[in-house]
Amino acid sequence: MNRLPNLLDSRIGRLAGFFLLYVCEGLPQGYAATAVALEFRRMGMTAEAIGSFAAFIMLPWAWKWAMGPVVDNLRLRRFGRRKQWIVITQLGMMLTLVAALLVFPKAVEAADGLKTFHGLALFSWMLLAHSVCAATQDVAIDALACDTLGEKERGTANGMMFAGAQLGAAIGGSGVLFLKGVLGFSLASLLPPLCLLMVLVLVVMLVREPKAAPIAVGDRMALIDVCRAIAGYLRITLRVFLTTKRGFLSLLCAVIPFGGMALSLTVSTVISPTLGMSDGEIAKLALVTSIVFTLCCMLGGLLSDRFGRRLTLTVFSLGTLLPTLWIGWRLKQEGWITPSGASADGTWPRHEALIQAWWIASVVYVLFQGLMYGIRTAFFMDLIEPRIAATHFTACMALMNLVTIYCYWWQGKAITPAAEGGWGFSYQQIFLLDAVLGGLFVVLLPFVRKRESNT
């Protein structure tokens, strides 16, 4: 009987394998941020609650660095050093996602018209557990990539991996919304776990690492090593961030947005249906912007190598502010001053002119955002301390995830009417605040100096 091929043995196999693994990372993020958030909005959930939900389930991505020592130091006998964690976490992702679907919240309207969502807490905790598995899988996949990719294929592989994540997000978000119109939301929501299952089967059958010496998960010394590694990581990170100029500036850059974010997070989720857009239209917009984002991300990296990192990062980040400010002005021009509250049946009157404006703003925004994303990671690579490159870089990436978390939260508070417990900002105030926060980086950049190449 012929043995099945090992994807890690060939360049094409490795690229295909890591592409598929990153599809798994994008699936749940697209599902939660697009499909679930939109369903919540149509059920009558406030923007504040949606923003808090999204921020909550993303928390594991801000401290996924803590899983590095666990992935490195604990392993089983059967599989290779990284594959075991990929298999375990994919199983966890699949099971927690299916379990979450079984307890999807139900809206119950009281006599006074107030809606409560039964099961929201349990559903949120299930998706938090799902995110823990997804963030751990990300650590294991990146470790496997470092172990197996050759120097000359790492750039191509990273581009393929990012493209896979965007495809996964499109399937989990747009794919579910398209199927919702045919099968209903519950059945359509089975698409992400089914995709996870298919990739899991491929990993088990077609990815083979050299077997590593086993370390029992219950081994006391192994667990002590994990705790020591985490404590050492924290000491090193704090020392770099707080005692060196470049480290402190990298900390500040990592905790502020590079450009606007209101056109991609809570505000975007809340506004789209209130304009009268159908689920199919929202899915189509999400698909188009995903494609534009992916292409521009790869282009941005090339342009930064040619014209300089700081110049291109500044131009493209500021570029995201143009559609942000424009859509705020456009909404005010059409008389849209205050964000709409919840709708009784989950639908709103259709506004063709604003839908067209929203399409323009979203596509232009994601074009600049994609160009910026292709540069931002490389920008932080220029700043890291060479002696502790992995530790410093991982900390910056974790803090960048923290930016997304708090932006989900403040946008949800801002766009919720004061009567529903929010800040009650007008549309123009929300987009103006987003632009101000997104432009803060220009104050820091003149003081940021990349490390010398010979250090």
For 46-62, write each residue's pLDDT tens digit: 888 999 999 999 999 88
DSSP labels for 72-85?
HH-B-SSSBTTHHH
Closest C-alpha among 246, 213, 258 to residue 435? 258
Domains of the chain and CATH, by start:
1-215 (1.20.1250.20), 236-455 (1.20.1250.20)
User: Does residue 306 register a pLDDT over 90?
Assistant: no
User: Does residue 455 register a pLDDT over 50?
Assistant: no
Distance between CA 321 and CA 113 in Å, rounded? Answer: 38
Query: Helices marked H in 59-188 — which ranges?
Result: 67-73, 83-102, 120-148, 154-170, 176-183, 185-188
User: Does residue 454 register a pLDDT over 50?
Assistant: no
Cα angle: 206, vertex 16, 25; to 5 degrees: 95
| 80 Cβ contact partners less than 8 Å away, ≥ 6 residues apart | 208, 209, 210, 211, 212
Question: Token pair for residue 273?
Answer: 């249906």
Band (pLDDT 50/70/90 cuts) for residue 1 is very low
Distance between CA 414 and CA 176 in Å, rounded? Answer: 28
* Phi, psi torsion values for 75, nearest 5 degrees: -150, 160
Residue 119 per-residue DSSP state: T
Band (pLDDT 50/70/90 cuts) for residue 218 is low
Task: Say if residues 413 and 270 touch (Cβ distance below 8 Å).
Answer: no
For residue 418, the one-letter residue type is A
Closest C-alpha among 282, 287, 324, 313 to residue 431? 324
How many other CB atoms are found less than 10 A from the CB of residue 407?
24
User: Does residue 303 register a pLDDT over 90?
Assistant: no
The model's pTM: 0.85
Distance between CA 233 and CA 230 in Å, rounded? Answer: 5
Task: Say if residues 13 and 5 touch (Cβ distance below 8 Å).
Answer: yes
Mean pLDDT of the region 262-269: 91
Mean pLDDT of the region 81-88: 83
How many other CB atoms are found less than 10 A from the CB of residue 241?
20
Residue 139 per-residue DSSP state: H
106 has which bridge partners?
A: 118
Band (pLDDT 50/70/90 cuts) for residue 452 is low
Q: Name the strand (E) or helix (H) holding 118.
A: strand 115-118
Q: What's the pLDDT at 241? A: 80
For 366-381, write each residue's pLDDT tens digit: 999 988 987 887 788 7
Q: Cα(first)–Cα(last) distance of the chain, in Å?
A: 54
Distance between CA 58 and CA 127 in Å, rounded? Answer: 9
Distance between CA 261 and CA 366 in Å, rounded? Answer: 10
- In the chain, % of residues over pLDDT 70: 88
297: left (phi over 0), alpha (psi -120 to 50) or beta: alpha
The torsion angle over the Cα atoms of residues 346, 350, 353 and 355, rounded to 10 degrees, is 30
421 has which bridge partners?
A: none
Question: Token pair for residue 278?
Answer: 């159908």
Question: Token pair for residue 440?
Answer: 């803060």
Cα angle: 170, vertex 409, 162; to 5 degrees: 30
User: Does residue 297 register a pLDDT over 90?
Assistant: no
User: Does residue 90 register a pLDDT over 80?
Assistant: yes
User: Does residue 214 register a pLDDT over 70?
Assistant: no
Query: 263-284: buried (b, 16+ CB within 10 Å) or exposed (e) per residue?
Result: bbbbbbbbbbbbbebebebbbb
More confident call, 452 vs 332? 332
Band (pLDDT 50/70/90 cuts) for residue 112 is low
Distance between CA 159 and CA 149 in Å, rounded? Answer: 13
Query: Helices marked H in 308-388 — which ranges?
Result: 309-319, 321-333, 352-383
Strand, helix or coil for residue 62: helix
Question: Token pair for residue 247?
Answer: 């480290």
221: left (phi over 0), alpha (psi -120 to 50) or beta: alpha
289: left (phi over 0), alpha (psi -120 to 50) or beta: alpha
Question: Token pair for residue 338?
Answer: 């205050």
DSSP labels for 364-433?
HHHHHHHHHHHHHHHHHHHHS-GGGHHHHHHHHHHHHHHHHHHHHHHHHHHHS-GGGTS----HHHHHHH
Band (pLDDT 50/70/90 cuts) for residue 338 is confident
Strand, helix or coil for residue 215: strand
Distance between CA 93 and CA 29 in Å, rounded? Answer: 12
